[in-house]
Amino acid sequence: MEILAYGVLADERPILERAFAARHRLRCLDVFLNRDTAPLAAGYPAVSSSVNGELDADTLALLAAGGTRLIAQRSTGFNNIDLDAAAGLGLTVARVSHYSPHSVAEHAWTLALAVNRRLSRAANRSREFDFRLDGLLGRDIHGMTVGVVGTGKIGECFTRIAHGFGTELLGWDITENPACRDLGMTYVDLDQLLTRSDIVSLHVPLLPATHHLIDAAALAAMKPDAILVNSSRGGLVDSAALVESLRAGRLAGVGLDVYEEETGVFFTDLSISGITDDVLARLVSFPQVVVTSHQAYFTRTAVGQIIDATLRNVDDFEAGRRSENTLIPLAE
């Protein structure tokens, strides 16, 4: 089968090409899939999209008109795809239901540690041969109270690391995870978790019920010296409210690997043109904030698993099979 892969990163490309070489003809593009780039897929029965593609109704209609029948998303999240429109067009849509949860959990802790110990500021100073310790005072993680919002596979991995640090563990989820309970986690309501935690890390999916889960009221409920980490979905946090909270001198640190308006910004080089998003520009200017570009998943292990799952999705489509990755039933 011929496949056009959009939004392929430089480090991802050789892994993707090796995986598909034996069974399918693959062409890789570094541009993201949207209504402007969709016509490039004319004649390709399958496309593979990245999480930063914009697969709205117009984009999907252009793909279908060009002969595309399968969309294989190389991510777990799929809120960028209009599934109703895809179903109406008879498209099959598949995603990667899971990959290494350790990659995201470890990056979440990397962010927490970086903001706690002021590593970004310290590294920048060292490059200028400024080796003072002024403004770099951190805190021991040991003995802190860590709140884990969402205790699925990634939240569980994050909890195991937190347990290793010797922290008090609080959890919030619609379903309790016995493995987290065994590590000493106490499940509480979200308000209690926010008011008691020194570190709050988000690991829930983006749904209507979780959009802006961390809003102005939630931020006000947190300890003024708390650390907030989001490595899940940008829309979980009201970014404008976060800026106002930081402007008011609240929160000791914020680590963000995702941002609610990241599409068209993350994964691109805007160092010359700059950005027009005033909220993001303000966020990255705070010394206690570290922003990374949706890279929590970006390890050899996780990327390899994502590509292997994408390959299986293409094989399943070709064989007329469905799997746990299939979001929209196969076209008739």
User: Encoding tokens for residue 230?
Assistant: 């989001």
Annotated catalytic, 233?
A: yes
Using alpha carbons, select from 206, 207, 200, 269 the residue that is nearest to residue 234.
206
Q: Does residue 171 contact residue 158 with C-beta atoms inside 8 Å?
A: no
Q: How many angstroms separate the CA atoms of 245 and 44, rounded?
A: 48
- Among 69, 74, 107, 233, the active-site one is 233
Q: How many angstroms separate the CA atoms of 215 and 241, rounded?
A: 6
- Among 107, 262, 312, 324, the active-site one is 262
- Among 118, 196, 203, 294, the active-site one is 294
Using alpha carbons, select from 231, 96, 79 the residue that is nearest to residue 150.
231
User: Residue 253's beta-bridge partner residues?
Assistant: 227
Annotated catalytic, 95?
A: no
User: Encoding tokens for residue 66?
Assistant: 């060009």
Annotated catalytic, 74?
A: no
Task: Using DSSP, state whether 254 is helix, strand or coil.
Answer: strand
Give the helix ranges, DSSP H, for the chain. Answer: 13-20, 57-65, 83-88, 101-116, 119-127, 153-165, 178-182, 190-196, 216-221, 239-247, 278-285, 300-319
Q: Cite the active site residues.
A: 233, 262, 294
